Structure 1
Amino acid sequence: MNFLLRKLENEVPESALLEGEALLEDGAVEGLHEVEKQLWIAQSEGFEVEVQLSGQKVSAGTCECGTFKKSGICGHLTGTLLQVRQRQQQQKEKREQKKKATDTPRRLTTGVVLDQVNPAELIGFVREYARTNRNFAIALKARFASSVSNLNSKEKYLQLLDTTINAVRKSDRQITLRGAQRLSKVLDELHQQMEQHLDAGNLVELADIALSIIEKISPVLSKIQQQREHVRARVVGAFDYLLELVERSPAPQLLRRLWADCQREYPKRTYQSNQLDRYFFKLMLKTAQESSQLEALLGTLEERASQEEETNGAGADYILLQIAVLEQLNRVEKARKLIEAHLTSPDILEFAIKQAQRQNNRPREKALAQIGLRLDLPENYKDQLEALLLQLAEAEADLNSIKTYALLQFFRKLDLQLYKKAREATPKTERPALFENTLAQLRQRPYSAELRDTLAGLLLAEEQWAILMAYTEEVQSLDLLSEVDETLLSRFPERVKQLYRQLLHEYARHYVGPKTARRIALALLHLQSLNAQKFVSELAQELREQYPERHTLTAELSAFEE
């Protein structure tokens, strides 16, 4: 058995259920008691019945009667289960009554007041307080605007945002930091409501809220002195909700309305100055239902891209949208030519590479990435292209390319696994030269902890013990020494010990306090683990004699006496 007790009626045969109900009604289930936690026993018609629960589930049940032995269920067991459920419900009610009786409020909290106040009086208070406190009134409207049904749906949100903007704007029409924060609170509340409407499928209400935010907040962005980007993100978020709405297959009438609203709004200067017009175009691409709409959108995008290229040489967003429209119109060749003409743009190049990946066109993917490396692109783009070319080279087992791109990535990221990958792709006769060149390039770089550890890792990987020992002496780093000492101690015992002696004395000379003492003690403990007990005792004694007045240090060092 393994079913929820509350679903008993769905789990047992109807005949057993009817028999059990009759036994319970006739008082033929007797002596029910819990012998131990969740193990119940009862008597029914002279048969002993046992029930084992596990949480809210029935995990086992037995009865001595012949019916149970034959079919695994009987009226006696069913009647007992019904009585157990009754008993549990009674116990639960008693606990709740007891809790309620002892739950007399000891403090005057908001929850206590709201539980006991007269609803009519509360409404009166809220109405009066909203009349005298503008911030409260705005918060109240924002929270409950969707509940108002006797106003035009979009109009009520436009009114709400008008009221909010007027409340936060100064006499010079500027919006201060405090005003932007108050405006953000209202927008955050409306965003929560859009999420709820999306989940509930109230797509028209969602559209009304989103369009109201876009239309009312965009024109005031230029007036916000601080947190402008935060508020702008709420406008962009409204577009995102509209795009998500379109994915939910709304009614054609709603799609036509969104298209018309976009067509009416996007020409306004405020959207272009705040770089929001492209979001209208994305939405228009998704809501277009006829080829004539796509043709009109294509013309607009070509015009905008031309304007953008003339002013600042950009316009990639508009070009990508043009490509999407052309593909939707099935003008594949024109879309391809547009891509080829703008490959110097990182965004267009990235789009073209992803398109080649979707088409599983590996030669084009490789050619595009190689073109990108020859362009004057930002370093993060070059990093992505090198990683892609390395991945392609590995897929093709192209050893020369693996070596080339693994090394480029190694020098960019200082990841030893990439060097090892390049080494494996290099013929054995050429590996010494690979090591020498790599070492020389690393040595030319400015010192950093990351470079130090990478260079030491390279020397370890190539088993260049003498160079590693010399480098460790050169950089004078206790951190590095503790990483490589186990390897070097057996080969250069005196040089390693001398370096430890030098570094620990230097450290003790320049730093004081418990952290310094603990750091020295940890270094000595580490040396002990390498079976250098005699050296540790000598060094501890030297430090104790040199700094007898530093009690924290001498206390730590006392643990290392022979």
Structure 2
Amino acid sequence: MEMELSSFEKQINSTILQRGKVYYQKGQVESLGETEDGVWVAVVAGSDDYFVEIEISKKGSVGDYGCDCPYDGDLCKHVVAVLYAIRDEKAIAPEDVPKTTKKKTKLSFQKLLDNISSDELKAFIVQYSKKDSSFKSDLELFFAEKDENFDIEKQIKDQIRKAIKTYSKHEFIDYGSSGKLARELQKILMQGQYYLSKNNILNGSLLCMAYIQEVMPVITYADDSNGSIGDAIDSGISLLTDIAVQSPVDLKEKIAVYLNKELQQDLYFDYGDFGYDMTDLYAQLCLDLSKIDDFLHFADVAIHKARLDRYDYRSSFFIQIKASILQKGNRTEEVQQLIEQQIHLPQMRKVQVEKAIENERFEEAKELLV
């Protein structure tokens, strides 16, 4: 649906529009913020808390939008409520309001900040931190680089454990609570994205490693039918990957050691592709660090263990990635030896067939295909 922020009311069903407006007027739009240029996110409180994301162009056009509520129509009341909130935040007047009848309105959030002195702001922060420990934790985490003695790993773990405790009941997280917890986890991870944007690679990596370590076990005692906890874990692994490829050598080594240790646990492989994605990253770091033998040893142990446990897919995965690493390391003879040893695997057989065809050994290719 194409619409402008200044006149979106004209494009929306009147019933949905009214319901969204009521939500906005009641102050049910929480945590509104612009995460990157033109992308706004917010949580809308109602019978449940729902996460809304909306793209607004510099010219004020509404782009893609989404909400994780169960409504199956094109646009829900939660999106409408956030549109009202964004327009108020940006201090854009609706097109239908005549300029001559403008009433005095409250200051936009940005203008309010501009009118507050640094001493007033500090006083508020001190006072509010006493009332809200979560606010205090968020503030400390945001400015972690200002304190060289700040333990970012402990802070992250404490925040995650607190969130898990909030949404757990009898050591289980039900369907409704898993979505809420996932949104809290994604908020925590946003701090890691902020660190990366500021090129604070060290804190970003420490945050991600602690995050993955704490969040991964949650999937074993949560109803994750909607996949929200899995998505939260994937986001952590993806961010760690983005950070790792930009890291200096000493930090890459630290991340590699962390991955090797974590990947000893079946947990990462039993509940999704998490372990496979982390193995891909570990392999790349070993290549970058010229520590191919470290990865080969890791892969051999994993292959042996997978075979003992009769995990055919896992065994095949590690054999294939071992072959790939050998190839990238220009260890041609070892690659060929591995392929011949594992010729019963379709992927290994495919490589050998393609090689035979490339060298015009067509009879050999036919035999391999039989």
> Do the two structures share a fold, i.e. TM-score over 0.5?
yes
Count of aligned pairs: 263
Task: Specify whether residues 119 and 296 from structure 1 end up closer, same or farther in structure 2 by C-alpha distance, changes over 3 A only.
Answer: closer
1:356/1:364 contact within 8 Å kept: no
| Alpha-carbon offset, residue 190 of structure 1 | 3.8
Matched residue, 2:332: 332
5+ residue gaps, structure 2:
1-100
Distance 1:343 1:265 in 2: 30
What whole-Å deviation, never above 9, does each CA across 1:131-150 have from its counterpart, x for those lacking one?
A: 5xxxxx37x74576231343
Distance across 2 between alignment mates of 1:112 and 1:234: 34
Deviation at 1:107, TM superposition (A): 5.7
Aligned AA (1:145) = L
- What amino acid maps onto 1:270 in structure 2? L
1:301 to 277, 299, 302: 299
Whether contact under 8 Å (1:246, 1:286) holds in the other structure is no
Q: Deviations over 1:463-502 (max 9, x none)?
A: xxxxxxxxxxxxxxxxxxxxxxxxxxxxxxxxxxxxxxxx
Q: Which has the higher contact order (CA 8 A, sep 6+)?
A: 2
Q: CA-to-partner distance for each residue in 1:306-347, whole Å, 9 max, x for gaps?
A: 333451422222112211332355431222343355566565
Pairs within 5 Å for 1:81-230: 105-106=104-105, 119=121, 122-123=124-125, 126-127=128-129, 130=132, 137=134, 141-142=137-138, 145-148=141-144, 149-150=146-147, 151-170=150-169, 172-227=170-225, 229-230=227-228
Residue by residue, what CA displacement relative to the aligned partner does 1:253-274 show, whole Å, maximum 9, x if unpaired? 2122112222332223433433
- 8 A Cα contact 1:262 1:280, kept in partner: yes
> SS at 1:201's partner residue?
coil
**Are the counterparts in 1 of residues 156 and 210 from structure 2 also a CA contact under 8 Å?**
yes
Deviation of 1:219 after TM superposition, in Å, equals 1.4
Larger radius of gyration: 1
Aligned residue among 228, 250, 253 for 1:256:
253
CA separation in 1, counterparts of 2:189 and 2:360?
A: 45
Unaligned stretches of 5+ residues in structure 1: 1-101, 132-136, 375-562
SS in 2 for 1:174: coil
Corresponding residue of 1:43: none
Conservation of the 8 A alpha-carbon contact between 1:168 and 1:179: yes
**Structure 1 residue 155, shift from structure 2 partner:** 2.4
Verify: 1:323 aligned to 2:319, yes or no.
no
Instruction: Tell me how far apart the structure 2 counterparts of residues 169 and 260 of structure 1 sit (CA, whole Å).
Output: 32
CA distance in 2 between partners of 1:234 and 1:362 (Å): 47
Alignment of 1:163-562 (within 5 A): 163-170=162-169, 172-227=170-225, 229-248=227-246, 250-274=247-271, 276-288=274-286, 293-310=291-308, 311-314=310-313, 315-342=315-342, 345=345, 352=351, 361=358
Taking only the aligned residue pairs, the percentage that are identical comes to 13
Q: Tell me, in whole angstroms, the C-alpha distance in 1 between the residues paired with 2:300 and 2:214.
A: 28
Q: In 2, distance between residues paired with 1:233 and 1:280? A: 15
Q: CA–CA distance in 2 between the matches of 1:165 and 1:343?
A: 47
CA distance in 2, matches of 1:361, 1:243: 35
C-alpha RMSD over aligned residues? 4.3
Quote the offset at 1:103 in angstroms.
7.5
Alpha-carbon contact 1:105-1:112 (below 8 Å) kept: no
Write the distance in 2 (CA, Å) between the matches of 1:128 and 1:279. 41
CA distance in structure 2 between the aligned counterparts of 1:109 and 1:247, rounded to whole angstroms: 40
Is residue 253–residue 289 contact of structure 2 (8 Å, CA) maintained in 1? Answer: no
Question: 1:302: Cα distance to partner?
Answer: 1.9
SS in 2 for 1:213: helix
